[in-house]
A = this chain, B = another copy of it.
Amino acid sequence: MVRLEDVRVVFVEPLFEINIGYVARAMKNFGLRRLYLVGPRTEVGDVALTYSVHAREIVREAVIVDTLAEAVEGVPYVVGTTGKAPKRDKRVVRIPITPEELAKNLVDYEGEVAILLGREDVGLRNEELAMCNVVVTIPASPEYPILNVSHAAAVIFYEIYKWNAGVARRAPFSFARATREDIALAEKYFDELAEALPIPEHKRRIAKLVFRRMLGRSLLSRRELYAIVGILRRASEAAQRATTKC
């Protein structure tokens, strides 16, 4: 189970201080503590502190960095958020899961997690979403699906807290889940396999992304994962032999 202290919230280029304060408050409401601000476009001062109410220490201790890369360095599970319905040609980047699905995933996860909150005006960019392990969208009215960033944050934090606290039903069986290292190994062999096959580069890129999503969503046990790793490793070897030797 993910520990709430291992969850960092990364607010990308916030525009309004009030939202920084509200995000901090919502974090503390749901047991989160570690706030990163990437290139804030506003002062981070009294207004943020005021709106954080009893979460002032979260604002005060917020880590301010220049780039998103710095904010997520070394974090193996990065969660993007977007309120926008995916556009046709961008589907693969943005097929989202719900906050509930994210929360369920995290029940079986151990290690650090970064939750990215997008800019108030333009959200997260496609290339930022592409670097996420998973993208979350809150199911909302098609008429006006865009929540204020701090409200979206509250809903996502709430689901994580709820599931983490076991308020919702727990999974009855506990398997040794695949770790991030196990998963990285599966990703590596899949990538090697894709590289060795004669297919257009853009298809290769999409397939790699989809495979990551599959791994992210299907929460395999260690044993299950290594069954797949075995196939991928052999397949990669075979593909390399097929192209080089023959």
Alpha-carbon distance A81/B246, docked complex (angstroms): 48
CB-CB under 8 A from A53, the residues of chain B are: 148
Interface 0/1 of A206-245, CB less than 8 Å to B: 1101110111011111011101101100110111011101
CB-CB under 8 A from A227, the residues of chain B are: 92, 203, 206-207, 209-210
Q: A217's contact among B22, B155, B218, B234, by CB below 8 Å, is which? A: B218
Contact A144 B214 (CB under 8 A): no
* A1: interface (CB < 8 Å): no
Query: Number of contacting residues on A, CB 8 A?
Result: 79
Of A137, A150, A158, the most chain B CB neighbours within 10 A belong to A158
* A161: interface (CB < 8 Å): yes
Q: A151's contact among B26, B31, B145, B225, by CB below 8 Å, is which? A: B26
Tell me whether A219 and B217 are in contact in the complex, defined as CB-CB below 8 angstroms, given that A147-B26, A147-B154, A150-B151 are known contacts. yes
* A95: interface (CB < 8 Å): yes
* A106: interface (CB < 8 Å): no
3 closest cross-chain pairs (CB), A and B: A238-B242, A217-B218, A238-B239
**Contacts from A to B (Cβ < 8 Å):** 22, 25-26, 28-31, 53-55, 91-92, 95-96, 98, 100, 137-141, 143-148, 150-151, 154-155, 158, 161-162, 165, 167-168, 172-173, 175, 190, 193-194, 196-199, 203-204, 206-207, 209-211, 213-215, 217-221, 223-225, 227-228, 230-231, 234-235, 237-239, 241-243, 245-246
10 intermolecular pairs with C-beta atoms under 8 Å apart: A28-B143, A29-B141, A139-B167, A141-B161, A154-B155, A197-B234, A197-B238, A207-B231, A211-B228, A238-B239
